[in-house]
Amino acid sequence: STRRDILTMLTTACDTEGSHLSKKELIDQVFGFLLAGFDTTSIALTWTLLQLSERPDLQQKVRGEMSLVLGDDINRTITHEELDALKLTTAVIKETQ
């Protein structure tokens, strides 16, 4: 498989002797991801949206980029290629951090 998401990487990772993480270690790692990724992501999103609310011109451009790259069907998972193509959106998120 060519999947590169963190769960696939975690379940396929092995040390030099070829041993994988145990079930308990996997569960502990996932708990760490949830803890580390929840507030950080929601607070980053909150600040980004606040910044955009203060810059309607930029908000309009970000919206435009999204419709251009993602099209009308928003009820689906976006691809890595689409994520990479969201240049302005990425720049706004990075400036906010």
Cβ closer to ligand HEM: 29 or 59?
29
Torsions phi, psi for 86 (to 5 deg): -80, 70
What residue number has its CB nearest to ligand HEM?
37
CA 67 – CA 95 distance, rounded (Å): 21
User: What is the contact mask toward ligand HEM in residues 24 to 63, using x (rule: CB under 6 A)?
Assistant: --------xx--xx--xx--x-------------------
Which whole-number Å values give the CA distances from 83 to 51, 70, 90, in the listed order?
20, 9, 8
Q: Which residues bind ligand HEM (CB under 6 A)?
A: 6, 32-33, 36-37, 40-41, 44
